[in-house]
Amino acid sequence: MVVPEGCDPIIEVRDLKVNFYTYAGVVKAIDGVTFTICRGETYCLVGETGCGKSVTSKALTRLIQPPGRIEGGEIYYYPEPGKRVDILKLSEKELRRIRGSEITYVYQDPSAALDPLYTIGYQVAETMKAHGLVSRIKEGVRRAVDILRTVAMPDPEVRVRSYPHELSGGMKQRSVIGMAIANRPKLLIADEPTTALDVTIQAQIMDLLLELKRKTGMTLLLITHNLGLVAEYCDRAAVMYAGRIVEEAPVRELFKNPLHPYTQALLKAVPNPLARMDKLESIPGSVPDLIRPPRGCRFHPRCPLRMDVCSRERPPEVLRGRGHRVACWLYTDEGGVAGG
């Protein structure tokens, strides 16, 4: 595991494994994921749909529901420097004090996250009351006006009495962000927060999240498949494929010097206005079945640079430069390009 110099960790994940037990077989959704998020940074998990980004984020507070199960690994939360909490050993009561208060979520579909039967103000207030920030819902509703104003909601005094169906998509997402920050979290996990929004509103929501991060000092974990968001808003990024992290680096380094063939293929599939491109490249093949995943490197059936060893053994992680790690046989003695 590579930790940036001077990193004050807020989340540390080691060798995380998550399986889903279905009638068709055991889905090996997360297989040995390891990473550290530093306090105050914007960290990103990026990859195509189904690679395990959301499952990883939910595992951080044990939100994996049956038939899913965390099968192994370690998850440590550092509420303050020097104080470590073992998430997997907490009781459900102890975990509820953290989940929704110190670690909160913003999901990609705000309509599914909001209850259509209650006003926005009530739902924000309910979040605060559940964690003891207010003693009565009425008090929470009054404070919800200021929270909605903080997330740049138009006419917050009116919207606090509105129901979800009366709001636009952008307003719903601002409401969900308001609920997430109501308890002043230390870590905000934004799971594809702009997917259902048009491009203009996407930029507004991301700018809002970074402004809130700057004002409150919270840490942001962004989950996305949009490499444009990664390039513009993140400090470090981990690229996931089929339940594993294949590469991690500071964002500038990742885009300037992508090492893993999957990362390289992702970047070639994105339009580059500064480069002359006759056509965008696609990645051949399809995402593997995680009930019967490929042996060795899970990307090898689609990889143009695969070697014999790729189909036999899982590649080790190799450090290539400052804070840049990659799991690929190309960068080992076996592949012939080992070294820094």
Q: Name the band, by pLDDT with cuts 50, 70 and 90, for residue 219.
A: very high
Torsion of CA 243, 248, 251, 257, to 10 degrees: -110
Q: Greater confidence, 327 or 273?
A: 327
| Mean pLDDT score, 113-118 | 94
- State percent of the chain over pLDDT 70: 95
| Mean pLDDT score, 22-37 | 96
Residue type for position 136: R
Q: Greater confidence, 268 or 262?
A: 262
Q: List, for residues 307-316, the tens digit of each pLDDT value.
A: 999 999 999 9
Asked if 188 and 180 count as a contact pair (C-beta separation under 8 A), the reply is yes
Kindly report the pTM of this predicted structure.
0.92
CATH tag for 1-102+205-272+285-297+314-326 (out of 3.50.50.60, 3.10.20.600, 3.40.50.300, 3.30.470.20)? 3.40.50.300
Residue type for position 52: G
SS3 43: strand
| Mean pLDDT score, 236-247 | 97
CA distance 181 to 187: 10
Q: Name the band, by pLDDT with cuts 50, 70 and 90, for residue 336.
A: low
SS3 27: strand
Q: Quote the pLDDT of residue 339.
A: 42
- Pairing mode, strands 25-38 and 187-191: unpaired
Per-domain boundaries in the chain: 1-102+205-272+285-297+314-326, 104-184
Q: Quote the pLDDT of residue 28.
A: 96
Half-sphere exposure of 305 (CA within 13 A, CB side): 14
SS3 130: helix
Average pLDDT score over the chain: 91
| Mean pLDDT score, 2-18 | 89
Q: Quote the pLDDT of residue 271.
A: 72
Q: List, for residues 172-195, the tens digit of each pLDDT value.
A: 999 999 999 999 999 999 998 887
Helix (H) or strand (E) holding 325: strand 325-327
Q: Quote the pLDDT of residue 338.
A: 46
Q: What are phi and psi of 6, to 5 degrees?
A: 80, 10
| Mean pLDDT score, 214-241 | 93
| Mean pLDDT score, 67-83 | 95
Q: Name the band, by pLDDT with cuts 50, 70 and 90, for residue 340.
A: very low
Q: Which of 214-218, 270-274, 283-287 has the highest mean pLDDT?
A: 214-218
DSSP line for 169-236? HHHHHHHHHHHHHTT--SEEEEESTTTTS-HHHHHHHHHHHHHHHHHH--EEEEEES-HHHHHHH-SE
Q: Name the band, by pLDDT with cuts 50, 70 and 90, for residue 1.
A: low
| Mean pLDDT score, 228-235 | 92
